[in-house]
Chains A and B, each alone.
Chain A
Amino acid sequence: MISRRDVIKWGAVAPAIAAGSQAAFAQAPQGLDAFMLDTRYVDSLPTEHAGIPAICFAGDVTKPWFDTLDPAWRQRGYVLGGITGSDALFVLQSLAQQQGRRVVSQTQLGEKDERGVYPVSWVIAPVHPSVTA
């Protein structure tokens, strides 16, 4: 399990990572628009951090994507950070690509389980001109 402190630390460093070489991310000066937190890996959840809402789910991305991300990804902008299982990231990444977005940074945070799934932190940002802010 990743602790609340780690989540917050990650939240603090993610914009800095992105500000380095990721041009797309740099276009979102306030940093992240939302966090996605996979409750299979993150305990004691913050509902928000520094005013950024946290979207919590337990592995299956259907509902958060349908309710929140799909409508947001139809608009310009929207930089999303997450700590999730690599399986959830695989699905989100594929959905994001369809909507002009890409994983611009990712870091493995723990060991693989017996299925080969591991916790990972990441940032998905708009890259196509039709959706960059």
Chain B
Amino acid sequence: MTTPPGMTDADFADGLGAMRSAVGADWVFDQPADLNTYRDFYSVLWGEPEEKRASAAVAPANVEEVQQVVRIANERQIPIYPISTGRNLGYGGSAPVLSGSVVLDLKRMNRILEVNESNCSCLVEPGVSYFDMYRHLQETGSKLWIDCPDPGWGSLVGNALDSGGGYTAAGYRGHWEAVCGIESVMADGEVLRTGMGALPGSETWQQYRMGLGPCLDGLFRQSSLGVVTKMGFYMFPQPEAYLTGSIDVFRYEDLEELVDLLNELEYGNLFNGMPGIGSPVLSQDNPIAMTMIPPADEMNRMVQETGLAAWRASFTFYGPEKVIRAQWEHVKERHAHFQGVKFNEGDFITLPLSAEDMERIAKPRFGVPSLEIFFVGSRGFGNFNPSDGHIWFSAVIPRSGKGIIEANRVMRRECERLGLDLFMFAPAVTCWTRSFVLFAAVPVYKDPAKNQHLRESVREIIDICAQHGWGEYRCPPAFMDDVMDAYSFGDHKLRRVNEQIKDALDPNGILSAGRYGVWPKHLRDGRGA
């Protein structure tokens, strides 16, 4: 049996015994077959002594049981690591950041506490998955949509806490941006409600996010400061219709203006769906992996030879047909001056979805959870085998044409130099408001030598990105310290303030130790080693 670092077997057994009394013996797991399910199947340390493994898992059924478990852990200084549905594949799965932690598995807390049709919001427990919410909305005939990530098996809470993203309208698809109201069990076992939830009897918890004073929601994003037991979300009222269109331009030099225009139109609310910038000519071999952007004359020659566009801006509109058709007309007008421009009208779909449409659409764009992403490989997009695994490398880059070109070239050049495979490469993902996030899926292996090379290469890439001012928005546990190191302004003031907050709110350092590079005092020097 793995024990938490620095604990004797006897003390740990005593702690687990107390947790059994709190949640019931059936809900404390310490046998190898059970603990296997809490491994990160996509770990870059798979099978190595440093692999991040849980010592046990505990699954409480309600807030009171969470409080008891946290108090037991705090009294005995047992590190615990809360997860909601634990599907964080590509960013750590359900394994803890500090090996030997007890995973606090909140899957049994799966009640949808409220869906408020007039307020267009919901309040949920952490174990509620996107599928659970979708089923509920279907069964109740709701007019509301959720926004889900590609795999719908994760949870609204866990995904938002890691700052995940989806594919519908602005304000909803950056999942943290749609959060309104948090309840968290703190390290001392007490319960905090943020925003208007702090005011007993308020009916505005899922309306006015800020409440009074500093907005404390941020304490819980990518953090190690609490066990979130309830979370509110704004929900998107189902629109009447959906329309997509794309605009092709044919010169390397057009990119800068294309992005500026996209920004102006989005920030001016001329479209509300997820935009995209791609390159048909550089994605002709693999639609999910843009190749290196060549020099201007070479790219322009490729365009002439193939007839494919140099760049494509894509737009998505949700709303009444009359409105979204007018918006698309306006967007086209604004692009009419580009030399040789081509307009492609895509899907127009009235909502709710017909059974026929449901079969052919990209479901997450319609708030419909799916697991289809795990089978895209079998449809010929890349060589994706879900059981091999991959990690996501996702760096925030400037939202400009220059930003795309520079990030694409640096990443492509450095990955090639380092021999780092990428099976998906998209330089300008727009789930998060006003941002481009460069996404690369890096295959992970079950072979330690290959993974060592991968880890060293990714660390180098993190450094190189930092030198350009690009930082990851999220990352797997093996790289959390490296990524936090890159946010180094003011002699690492960001990390140091986070550590001060950690010490104040969790003096025994029991919660999610090491998450995003913030270690409790007693583990700080060795960073958990």
Query: Chain A interface (Cβ within 8 Å of chain B)?
Result: 40, 59-62, 65-66, 70, 85-91, 94-95, 97-98, 102, 114-117, 128-130
Whether A40 and B371, one on each chain, are in contact in the complex, defined by CB atoms closer than 8 angstroms, is no
How far is A115 from B390 in the complex, measured between Cα atoms in Å? 13
What chain A residues lie within 8 Å of B386 (beta carbons)? 87, 90-91
* Residue B153, interface by CB 8 Å: yes
Cα distance A66–B369 in the bound complex, in angstroms = 10
- Stretch from B246-254, B324-332, B374-382, B498-506 forming part of the interface with A: B374-382
Interface of chain B: mostly helix, strand, loop or mixed: loop
Name which residue of chain B comes closest to A97, CB basis.
B37
Beta-carbon contact of B374 and A128 below 8 Å: no
Nearest-neighbor residue (CB-CB) of A130 within chain B = B26
With beta carbons under 8 angstroms apart, the residue of A59, A66, A89, A116 that contacts B375 is A59
User: In the bound complex, what is the Cα–Cα distance between A107 and B85 (angstroms)?
Assistant: 28
| Bound CA–CA A40/B377 (angstroms) | 13
In contact, B26 and A116 (Cβ under 8 angstroms): no
Q: Are A60 and B371 in contact (CB under 8 A)?
A: yes
A62-B371 CB under 8 A given contacts A98-B107, A102-B33, A117-B378: yes
Quick check: A65 and B107 within 8 Å, CB to CB?
Answer: no
Bound: A87/B152 CA distance, A: 17
B433 CB-CB contact with A under 8 Å: no
Closest to B151 in A: A91
Beta-carbon contact of B378 and A70 below 8 Å: no
Beyond A59-B378, A87-B378, A95-B153, whether A116 also contacts B371 by CB under 8 A is no
| Minimal beta-carbon separation of A81 from chain B (angstroms) | 19
Contact assessment for B371 and A87 in the assembled complex, using a CB-CB cutoff below 8 Å: no
Complex Cα–Cα for A127 and B384 (A)? 31
| Given A87-B375, A116-B387, 19 extra CB contacts under 8 A | A59-B375, A60-B371, A62-B152, A66-B131, A70-B131, A85-B378, A87-B385, A88-B375, A90-B387, A95-B153, A97-B37, A98-B107, A98-B153, A102-B33, A102-B37, A115-B378, A117-B378, A117-B385, A128-B26
Give chain B interface residues in 446-498, CB to chain A under 8 Å: none
B385 touches A116 (CB 8 A): yes
Listed in ascending order, the chain B residues whose CB lies under 8 Å from chain A are 26, 33, 37, 41, 85-87, 107, 131, 135, 152-153, 369-372, 374-375, 377-378, 383-388
User: For the complex, what is the distance from the CA of A71 to the CA of B237, rounded to whole Å?
Assistant: 27
Query: Distance (Å) between the CB of A125 and the closest chain B CB?
Result: 13
Q: Which residue of B lies closest to A59 (CB)?
A: B375
- CB nearest neighbor in B for A128: B26
- Docked Cα-Cα span, A7 to B387, in Å, equals 24
CA distance in complex: A129, B85 (Å): 20
- A119 to chain B minimum Cβ distance, whole angstroms, is 13
Number of A-B contacts (CB under 8 A): 62
In the complex, the answer to whether A115 meets B384 with C-beta atoms within 8 Å is yes
The distance from the CB of A38 to the nearest CB of chain B, in whole angstroms, is 10
Q: How far is the CB of B134 from chain A (nearest CB, A)?
A: 8
Contact B26–A91 (Cβ < 8 Å): no
Scoring B87, B153, B369 by chain A CB atoms within 10 A of each residue's CB, the highest score goes to: B153
10 examples of A-B residue contacts, CB within 8 angstroms: A59-B375, A66-B135, A94-B87, A94-B153, A97-B37, A98-B153, A102-B37, A115-B377, A117-B387, A130-B26
- Tell me, in angstroms, the Cα distance from A69 to B41 when the chains sit together: 23
From residue B490, how far is it (CB to closest CB) to chain A in Å?
42
Chain B residues with CB below 8 A from A98, complex form: 85-86, 107, 153
Q: What residues of chain B lie closer than 8 Å to A130, measured between beta carbons?
A: 26
**Contact assessment for B374 and A91 in the assembled complex, using a CB-CB cutoff below 8 Å:** yes
Question: In the complex, which of the residues B41, B87, B387 contacts A87, with contact meaning CB atoms closer than 8 Å?
Answer: B387
Pick from B26, B371, B377: contact of A65, CB below 8 A.
B371
Which A residues are in CB contact (< 8 Å) with B384?
A: 115
Give Cα A116–Cα B371 distance, bound, in whole angstroms.
19
CB–CB A87/B374 < 8 A = yes
Task: Specify which of A60, A66, A86, A95 is in contact with B387 (CB 8 Å cutoff).
Answer: A86
A102 to B35, CA, bound (A): 12
Task: Please measure, in the bound complex, the distance between the C-alpha atom of A114 and the C-alpha atom of B377, giving whole angstroms.
Answer: 11
Q: Which residue of A lies closest to B132 (CB)?
A: A70
Cβ contacts under 8 Å, B375 to chain A: 59-60, 87-88
Q: Which 3 residue pairs across A and B have the least CB separation, nearest first?
A: A90-B387, A115-B385, A59-B375
Nearest neighbor of A117 in chain B, beta-carbon distance: B385
Give B243 Cβ to nearest chain A Cβ, in Å.
25
Task: Tell me how far the C-beta of A28 lies from the nearest C-beta in chain B, rounded to whole angstroms.
Answer: 19
Q: Which residues of B contact A85 (CB under 8 A)?
A: 378
Residues from chain A with a CB closer than 8 A to the CB of B374 are 60, 87, 90-91
Shortest C-beta distance, A99 to chain B (Å), equals 9
Cα separation A102 to B36 with both chains bound (whole Å): 11
Minimum Cβ distance to chain B for residue A51 (Å): 29
Chain A min CB distance to B386 (Å): 5
Among the interface residues A62, A89, A102, which one has the most CB atoms of the partner chain B within 10 A? A62
Q: Which residue of A lies closest to B382 (CB)?
A: A115
The residue in chain B whose Cβ has the minimal distance to the Cβ of A87 is: B386
Q: Check A91/B378 contact, CB under 8 A, given A70-B131, A114-B383, A116-B388.
A: no
B370:A115 contact, CB within 8 angstroms? no
Distance in angstroms between the alpha carbons of A88 and B374 in the assembled complex: 8
Report chain A residues within 8 Å CB of B377.
87, 115, 117
Of all chain A residues, the one with the shortest Cβ separation from B29 is A128
